[in-house]
Structure 1
Amino acid sequence: MIAHNQNQESPGLNIRKRIDKVKSVVRRRKELRRIKSLYLKNSAVVDRDVYYKIRLKGNDSDSTKSEEFNQLQKRRPWRENWDGGEFGSHGSISVIGRRKEMEDAVAAEVGFLTKGCKRYDFFGVYDGHGGSRVAQACRHWLHKFVAKRVEEEGEEIKWKEVMVAGFKEMDDEVNKNGKAVAAMGSTATVAVVGEEAVVVANCGDSRAVLSRGGVAIPLSIDHKPERADELKRVEDCGGKVINWNGHRVFGVLSTTRSIGTYNTRQYKK
């Protein structure tokens, strides 16, 4: 008697799986080459995702005469904005990777806010996890919550208080859905760009950098479980950090702070 294992896959099926895997790798490499070619083609416009020249108040005359400024003028086209001031272009690239659904989102709201005679642009990067709903909600609403808080401020904007309140309102809005977004969340790294300053706020492990002379200068600090202060904060709230394919909150979440993720909310206070 010959025993036949019905669960054993046929050789033909294994070959088809291998062929599909090879095709997937080839498509992935083609996509990366295409993105690289687009980046090189547009490198005169953007450095990575966003490039901005910021005029520092009181130093315009000195900066415009500098050799570095003249070199930048030759390398990059500029658009006229904000009463004749020169500000750089912006762009973004998103890669889905191995996931079936794009969980990330990008916001670019040019002129999202006017305060007195000053105008501001808003840029946000939202790295979703567990699905795309929270990242998309942040893309649509976070800049509006920030703008609302600024409008409530007096003549002098207290940006730290504005950002904290805006992020909290966004988190509360998302978590109203309760169990529907129990495992869904998103990081939020935003930059408000004005004529005289750039304000950066961060929640999670996405990162903002400033390119200066080809060197990336960090503008934000990642909220990671391996950080001693973040580890202590999570444990003080009753949570645990488990080293499971990297340090993760309860072995699942690789960042200690996020918008949403209702089922770990008590450990993100």
Structure 2
Amino acid sequence: MAYTVSRILATGIYFIRDWVFCSESIAILVAALFFLNILRLLRSLLVTFCQWKYKNTEVPRLGSPDSTVYKDILFGRRDSRDNDGKGIIRTYCHEARTYDMAAFSIQGRRKTMEDRFNSITHDYEHNLSVYAVFDGHGGEFAAEYIEDQLFRSLRKEFTQGNFYTDPDMVQQVLTSVIRTVDAQLVCLSRDRLDLSGSTSIIVFQLENVLTVANIGDSRAVMCTVEGKMVPLSTDHKPSDPKEQQRIVEAGGFVTFNGVWRVAGVLATSRAFGDYPLKQRKFVTVEPEFSIYDLREFKPHFVILATDGLWDVFSNEEAVQFISERLDEPHFGAKSLALQAYYRGSLDNITVMVINFKKKRALQKKYNRQKANGASQKLTDNKNS
């Protein structure tokens, strides 16, 4: 028996030596890596070409006759298997709009749509609102789950009134909710053997304080009333020295494979999900917070977007673009996403624009009406 086992082991060793580590196998591996890098180079050249070709192209304003060119991007072909003959139009975009926010999300050149967004409509009674954009990777499950569960948890916190009584609790509650939802996602992903994950950028306004929670490489930028661009978040990339140090101290490594990646896999160092990397603590869900006093910065608008936009737009270009189109039905969000597609973005693209100028005007109107109502009620009580 021992002789048979030793013979099997010896045969296996000889096979590995003669076939796996032979010069021919190594040559095939090198050729495959070379071919992969050629494909990455061609992708970069395509993006560069599209940026050059469409950089100065004037995008038709939505609603104009020329804007019908968007039709082919937004809709798929009709499904010929439909029995009633009408066909099914498969949409590849999502959009939403309120009185102070507009969002537009397009699948673009990806095979699947992994971006999500959500918001909690501005509460004028407490001067509070929440906006968020999620950029999934490795599948749709993580972004879909986080978008739903995170906002369920936040609404539950609102009903308990934690934010209203103690504004300093915002960071603590947000961190607690993010950790809890991520832990639930990791457990579900492990059971499902789902490797997906998602970055997130969350903007939380409470009275005159704007709290930005960033997890990953989605981004938020502000345009002040003076027209100044203010970056509200910093991308979490494996190439960042602080992020790289954290990864190495956890026993991981960062390699360059077209872009810098955690363990040669993930191009962002913080994310929801990604349970194999999360278990080894190579990737973390800890949010990075930035706090802004709205009385000091006085924002005109804020842009939240996934990296599908920032791959082809700089912060300054995006702010300038929206500044010229804030009067559009979607506050320019739709036009900006489509322009990013024309410039050659190869990722899903989601853009959300928060119109703070309109929000401030509506908040002042609400406060005046509330004050007038209180005064009228006081007068009625005195007369009675």
2:185 equivalent to 1:174: yes
Residue 22 of structure 1 aligns with which residue? none
- Which of the two has greater helix per residue? 2
Cα deviation, 1:161-188, whole Å, max 9, x if unaligned, reads 1121111012012112133254200001
Could you tell me which of 244, 249, 253 is aligned with 1:231?
Answer: 244
Q: Equivalent residue of 2:116, what SS?
A: strand
2:148 equivalent to 1:125: no
Q: Using a 3 Å threshold, how does the CA distance of structure 1 residues 165 and 140 change in structure 2: closer, same or farther? A: same
Q: Equivalent residue of 2:105, what SS?
A: coil
The answer on whether the counterparts of 2:215 and 2:270 sit within 8 Å (CA) in structure 1 is yes
Residue 143 of structure 1 aligns with which residue? 151
Q: What is the identity, as a one-letter code, of the residue corresponding to 1:251?
A: G
Q: Equivalent residue of 1:159, what SS?
A: helix
Q: Unaligned 5+ residue runs, structure 2? A: 1-49, 51-57, 65-97, 285-384
Q: CA deviation at 1:223?
A: 1.0
Could you tell me which of 149, 153, 156 is aligned with 2:162?
Answer: 153
Residue 99 of structure 1 aligns with which residue? 110
The size of the alignment, in residue pairs, is 193
Q: CA deviation at 1:197?
A: 2.1
Residue 75 of structure 1 aligns with which residue? none
Q: What is the identity, as a one-letter code, of the residue corresponding to 1:225?
A: P
The answer on whether the counterparts of 1:181 and 1:260 sit within 8 Å (CA) in structure 2 is no
Q: Equivalent residue of 1:170, what SS?
A: helix
Q: Using a 3 Å threshold, how does the CA distance of structure 1 residues 109 and 130 change in structure 2: closer, same or farther? A: same
State the TM-score, normalized to the length of structure 2. 0.45
Q: Distance in 2 between matches of 1:152 and 1:245?
A: 47
Larger radius of gyration: 2
- Superposed, 1:67-106 pairs within 5 Å as 89-106=100-117
Residue 283 of structure 2 aligns with which residue? 268
Could you tell me which of 219, 222, 244 is aligned with 2:232?
Answer: 219
Q: Equivalent residue of 1:183, what SS?
A: coil
Q: CA deviation at 1:97?
A: 2.4
CA-atom RMSD in angstroms: 3.1
Q: CA deviation at 1:222?
A: 1.2
Q: Unaligned 5+ residue runs, structure 1? A: 1-27, 29-34, 42-78, 80-87
State the TM-score, normalized to the length of structure 1. 0.63
Q: CA deviation at 1:101?
A: 1.0
Identity %: 29
